[in-house]
A and B are shown apart, each in its own frame.
Chain A
Amino acid sequence: MNIDELREHLCKEHPDLCPLFSIEFGDGVLLVDRGRLFDAAADLKELGFDRLGMVTAVDRDEEFELVYRLTSRAMSCGMFLKCRVPRENPRGRSLVPLWPAALWQEREVYDLFGIEFEGHPDLRRILLPEDWDGHPLRKDYADDRMIRRPDYI
């Protein structure tokens, strides 16, 4: 299935997701809100995206953007599923029931961004020690040992 067939198929099967779909660099992008994240992921899985390749997040000032990348051998394109969660209450839905691949990757996002995933069976830090303060990949993270490069490069 290529990207145009995917768009057509998605719009036919799930008309509610159709306006949220866009194409960037040949990959499909689906931007959903928090409440729909899990269902949208389940729909994409049903469409044939059987692999959860990557789970990550981006700090967008007021919000965090959760980024999921799905792939499949049956598709000639990749698929991004994006979801914005507010900074004051950073909570997402865990995709572990759909793909166990999310088990460690969501722990990593929790560790480095402090985003909690509802329904994750074992949400704790993975790369940093248990007693670490803060979440380093947030833009406002500060640490005495951090060295800032001069702006003139």
Chain B
Amino acid sequence: MTMEVESRREVSGEDDLARQELVVNVGPSHPSTHGVCRVIVHVDGEVVTKAEPVIGYLHRGIEKMCENRTYLQVVPLTDRLDYVGSMYANWAYCRAVERLASIRVPERAEYLRVIVCEMQRIASHMMALGSSAADTGAASMFIYAFDERERIVELFEELCGARLTYNYVRPGGVSFDAPEGWTDRLKDFTNNHRTALSEMDRLFFGNVIARGRMKGIGVLSAEDAVSWGASGPVARGSGVNWDLRKHDSYSVYPRFDFDVPTGSNGDAYDRGRCRLFECYESCRIIEQAAAQMPEGPVKTDGLSRLISPRPGDAYDHIESARGSLGVYVVSEGGPRPYRVKFRSPAFCNLALLPMLAEGHTLSDLVVVLGSLDPVFGEVDR
């Protein structure tokens, strides 16, 4: 952790030590932040009295760049938003464009989209759990989680050739059909993954040190979660049962049987454990989707490369690993979008940091930040 002491406690008067706030600069680079985030922390002794995140270090102006490209050329840009979960931004953007331009998607493509997004959820949660565990000193958890993530990345590589920025979901379908034997390898993965998940649950969430570090830290009430616009595991850890897959169901999700895990205490522990339980549910969805997936095309026939929707605006959202990811597209009738806005769940969740970190020690700030799971590509856009 890089820290600069900006002001020191000063000695004043004869014998009394004046109590003065110490301002500590954390960042702008820290491994727990999955990107570049700076937090200006005011501490009284060890206790945080005020934490102010300074963001924008990864701002690339993606929304502005979108206005200068065709609808299809925007898809690779969406990969660069949440680079731990590229599939989500791909899909959310494509849904908004498909809604605006009335493009129909073949059923097999919808199933493939669901499968890759649930795989992505596991991969993203493994990243979140592994790195937040590493921040608290649990290095072995990091290795276990990344091993699981690697299995998924290998399957993605087989599917579309890329390991991080997939550019897989396109308006009107997906770029490639699943190769032969891929769904069988997927089934092997989910079987092994369940065993790994229970192992990780015992190893990390059952560990007395991890419990001590995470229980009661960064408590978020259900009311605050709703009014602050928190979503995903951050809101569900506080007992807010809100999952777009279930409550604003899209694509073929109504056909699958799955549960939405929620926490009750709203602390870092519940948020983390929600992520772990969501991986079990993702395994269930993947298995059902792979079994039900029909044969057929994966792309709409006869779709022009130059999509020019009618003037208007459309919004669509999906449940990403971080929460509800929305895309708002405005068309003026030309081949390029007039305006694209990405409603980033990580941005909204990160806004909670000042409130959650207050009153905890500086070392707990890292736990709180890790439990919010921000990916700065998406926060800064």
A interface residues, Cβ below 8 angstroms from B: 24-25, 27, 50-54, 56, 58-59, 67, 69, 71, 73, 76, 78, 80, 99-101, 103-105, 108, 112, 126-129, 136-137, 141, 148-149, 153
Residues of chain B within 8 A of A67, CB atoms compared? 313, 328, 341
Shortest Cβ-Cβ A-B pairs, 5 listed? A101-B229, A127-B56, A54-B343, A104-B351, A56-B341
Partner of B324, one of A24, A53, A127, A129: A53
Cα-based distance from A112 to B67 in the complex (angstroms): 14
8 A Cβ contacts from B288-319 to A: 306, 312-315, 317
Alpha-carbon gap, A25 to B96, bound state (A): 11
Complex contact A104–B348 (CB within 8 A)? yes
- Count contacts between A and B, CB distance < 8 Å: 89
CA distance A50 to B350 in the complex (A): 20
Q: Which residues of B sit under 8 angstroms from A80, Cβ to Cβ? A: 315
Q: Provided the pairs A54-B328, A59-B339, A69-B326 are in contact, do residues A129 and B229 lie with their beta carbons within 8 angstroms?
A: no
Q: Once the chains are docked, how many angstroms separate the CA of A100 from the CA of B241? A: 20
In contact, A99 and B227 (Cβ under 8 angstroms): yes
> Which residues on B sit within 8 Å (CB–CB) of A76?
248
Q: A54-B326, A67-B328, A101-B227 are in contact. Are A78 and B315 (CB under 8 A)?
A: yes
B181 partner residues in chain A, CB cutoff 8 A: none
- CB contact under 8 A between A69 and B328, given known A53-B343, A100-B228: yes
Chain B residues near A (Cβ < 8 Å): 55-56, 59, 61, 63-64, 68-70, 73, 99, 224, 226-229, 241-242, 247-248, 306, 312-315, 317, 324, 326, 328, 330, 335, 338-339, 341, 343, 347-348, 350-351, 380-381
Q: Is the CB of B56 within 8 A of A126?
A: yes
Rounded to whole Å, the gap between the CB of A103 and the closest CB of chain B is 6
Given that A24-B312, A128-B56, A128-B59 are contacting pairs, would A69 and B343 also be in contact in the complex, using a CB cutoff of 8 Å?
Answer: yes
Beyond A25-B99, A69-B328, whether A136 also contacts B61 by CB under 8 A is: yes
Contacting pair A101 B351 (CB below 8 A): yes
- A127 vs B64: C-alpha distance in the bound complex, in angstroms? 13
Taking a contact as CB atoms under 8 Å apart, the answer to whether A153 and B227 are in contact is no
| Nearest-CB residue, chain A, relative to B56 | A127
Interface of B: prevailing SS: mixed
B229 touches A51 (CB 8 A): yes
**Residue among B224, B328, B335 facing the most chain A CB atoms (10 A cut-off):** B328
Distance A153 CA – B335 CA, assembled complex (angstroms) = 10
Q: Chain A residues near B228 (CB, 8 Å)?
A: 99-101
The CA of A71 and the CA of B319, in the complex, are separated in Å by: 14
A99 contacts B229, C-beta separation under 8 Å: yes
Which of A50, A58, A127 is the one whose CB lies under 8 Å from B59? A127
Bound together, the chains give a CA A99 to CA B224 distance in angstroms of 10
Residues of B contacting A99 in the complex (Cβ-Cβ under 8 angstroms): 227-229
**Cα distance A103–B350 in the bound complex, in angstroms:** 12
In angstroms, how far is the closest chain B Cβ from the Cβ of A46?
A: 14
> Quick one: which of B59, B99, B328 contacts A56, CB cutoff 8 A?
B328
Interface CB pairs A-B, < 8 A, 27: A24-B313, A50-B226, A53-B229, A53-B317, A53-B343, A54-B341, A54-B343, A56-B341, A67-B313, A73-B241, A73-B242, A73-B247, A78-B315, A80-B315, A100-B351, A101-B227, A104-B351, A105-B229, A105-B347, A112-B63, A127-B56, A127-B380, A129-B56, A137-B64, A137-B339, A141-B64, A148-B68
- Closest chain-B Cβ to A10's Cβ sits at a distance in Å of 19
Q: B338 contacts A103, CB within 8 Å?
A: no
Cα distance A73–B273 in the bound complex, in angstroms: 23
Say whether, besides A27-B315, A127-B59, A148-B68, A52 and B229 are in contact (CB < 8 Å).
yes
Identify the closest chain A residue to B247 (Cβ).
A73
B220: min CB distance to chain A, Å: 12
Complex contacts, A51 vs chain B, CB 8 Å: 226-227, 229
Q: Which one of A51, A103, A129 has the greatest number of beta carbons of chain B within 10 Å? A: A51
Task: State the CA gap A50–B312 with chains docked (Å).
Answer: 26
Enumerate chain B residues within 8 angstroms of A112, measured Cβ to Cβ.
63
A57 to chain B, nearest CB (A): 9
A58 and B339 contact, CB distance less than 8 A:
yes
From the candidates A53, A58, A100, name the one contacting B338 in the complex (CB within 8 A).
Answer: A58
User: Inside 8 A of B73's CB, which chain A residues have their CB?
Assistant: 153
CB distance from A135 to the nearest CB of B (A): 11
> In the complex, A109→B347 CA distance in Å?
13
Residue of A nearest to B324 (CB): A53
With the chains together, A100 CA to B226 CA distance in Å?
Answer: 10
**Chain B residue at smallest Cβ distance from A78:** B315
Chain A residues in 8 Å Cβ range of B227: 50-51, 99-101
Beta-carbon nearest neighbor of A26 in chain B: B99
User: Chain B residues with Cβ under 8 A from A126's Cβ?
Assistant: 55-56
Residue of B nearest to A129 (CB): B56
Tell me the minimal C-beta distance from A87 to chain B in angstroms: 15
Residues of A contacting B338 in the complex (Cβ-Cβ under 8 angstroms): 58
Residues of the A chain whose Cβ atoms lie less than 8 Å from the Cβ of B341:
54, 56, 67
